[in-house]
Chains A and B, each alone.
Chain A
Amino acid sequence: EADIYQTPRYLVIGTGKKITLECSQTMGHDKMYWYQQDPGMELHLIHYSYGVNSTEKGDLSSESTVSRIRTEHFPLTLESARPSHTSQYLCASSGTANTEAFFGQGTRLTVV
């Protein structure tokens, strides 16, 4: 079944640790996105990619980085986690023919 997967679902980590949030999709979509969702629900685009080896920063400045080496995989990395990074991170994808985005279940990150 075509889908989009995020791991881990929940992560509690100490300040200064390096973390990678995984996102994979099996739909063959060219476009992938990372959104950060505040506790008050608002979604902010932090990174997007329109294809392999293409990555761009979104509207909200983020200390995280992303890579797109394979079409299906779009991981997000924080080199040194801080409490201000505590949030929910949502990955999404869309295809050329599609107009809507498909979302993963999200990763809820807590930095202590």
Chain B
Amino acid sequence: AQSVTQLDSQVPVFEEAPVELRCNYSSSVSVYLFWYVQYPNQGLQLLLKYLSGSTLVKGINGFEAEFNKSQTSFHLRKPSVHISDTAEYFCAVSPFGQAGTALIFGKGTTLSVSS
């Protein structure tokens, strides 16, 4: 079975500051990894995904994440945030080789960007 732990429930930052949202996972098999963003009263939108290959993954809106197999982590980063990045962020996993299997989500991190 897989599980996901998002280490911070809330992250407040000032505009133009860097940010890191932390995600650890647990799994007995290899996994695919994802970050989703949810704006108020909206569904989830895929930010980026790691399937294989380079451990540094770039996504939309200037976000990137790095897969660290030894630390079972997949932290999300952005060098300079904007007010519009204020949203909920979810880390998710699915077992490798089982494409389409239901994603397992962390509890989410609220990113609040202020001026």
Contacts and interface: CB of A to CB of B under 8 A. Distances in A.
B41 A33 contact: no
A42 B107 contact: yes
Interface stretch (B17-25, B45-53, B61-69, B76-84): B45-53
B62 to A, nearest CB: 19
A108 B41 contact: yes
A51 to B, nearest CB: 10
B45 A99 contact: no
Contact of A106 (B42, B88, B94, B100): B42
Given A103-B43, A106-B43, A98 B99 contact: yes
A99 B43 contact: no
Interface residues of A, number: 30
Contacts of B36: 103
A100 interface: yes
23 contacts: A6-B43, A31-B100, A41-B88, A41-B90, A42-B107, A48-B102, A90-B43, A90-B44, A96-B99, A98-B99, A98-B100, A99-B32, A99-B51, A99-B99, A100-B103, A103-B36, A103-B43, A103-B44, A103-B45, A105-B43, A106-B41, A106-B42, A106-B43
Given A96-B100, A99-B94, A108-B41, 9 more contacts: A41-B38, A42-B108, A43-B90, A92-B44, A94-B100, A99-B51, A103-B43, A105-B43, A106-B42
Interface of B: 32, 34, 36, 38, 41-46, 49, 51, 88, 90, 94, 99-100, 102-103, 105, 107-108, 110
Interface of A: 6, 9, 30-31, 33, 35, 40-43, 45, 48, 50, 58, 90, 92, 94-106, 108
